[in-house]
Amino acid sequence: MQVKFEDLKSIEYKNAWDYQETIFKKIVDEKLAKPNLDPTKRITQNTILFCEHPHVYTLGKSGVQNNLLVNEDFLRKIDATFFKSNRGGDITYHGPGQIVGYPIVDLEKLNLTIRSYIFKLEEAIIHAIAKFDINGTRLEGAIGVWLDVDDSTKARKICAIGVKAGRMVTMHGFALNVNTDLTYYRHINPCGFTDKGVTSMEKELCYKLDFEKVKHEVKKSISEMFEIELIDG
């Protein structure tokens, strides 16, 4: 199956969110127009967006605002913004040096449940970072990609995942820390955790990575994991 791919480069969080909403609405409208059509035969504008955001904290719909540990004045000092999002999960950070991926896809067309979709998204990231000799895995009871989960004192997240789905169409997605400034995580309890760390590929490997090369591997891994052909749009 072909899926449109767009690299939005650096874009404000709200602008990317609005763009997702536009694509999401088109797909849902297409489904509602022909509700009895076999999903595999339905023509929908399935799209995957990659981007980076300026410094921003986002809180999921089930999140606790107290997990943001600073006030608005401090946010201005560090040139960061804050948004309440309609995705799942708690609070997270987005910023330069982080690959943010937003798949807006019809899960019925991919023959996936929400659970299997998130599993495949995690698996795609695990396979992609393995190309750089980083051994990612899952942490029981926590969505995302983690390192060293067998040692509770060392367990740390390298990729956050937060998804919204309506009419079995997805929004939001993942945020993989590549060359991310991790000091920004000091101002939140990431994903609501107070006892787990956050890391980046740069921190694990002790050098700054070729950002475009990592994006290429993530894009390739998503294509393989979901058995789709990504067409640049």
Query: Domains of the chain, with CATH numbers?
Result: 2-232 (3.30.930.10)
- The CA–CA distances, whole Å, from 29 to 26, 42, 119, 158 equal 5, 12, 27, 35
Q: Is 206 a catalytic residue?
A: no
Q: How many degrees, rounded to 5, is the angle at CA 201 between CA 67 and CA 75?
A: 35
Q: Of these residues, 51, 159, 191, 206, which one is catalytic?
A: 191
Give, for all 233 residues of the chain, the pLDDT tens digit: 999 999 999 999 999 999 999 999 999 999 999 888 887 778 889 999 999 999 999 999 889 999 999 999 999 999 999 999 999 889 999 999 999 999 999 999 999 999 999 999 999 999 999 999 999 999 999 999 999 999 988 999 999 999 999 999 999 999 999 999 999 999 998 877 767 899 999 999 999 999 999 999 999 999 999 999 999 98
Going 94 to 216 to 218 to 149, the CA torsion angle's sign is: negative
Residue 182 parent element (H or E):
none
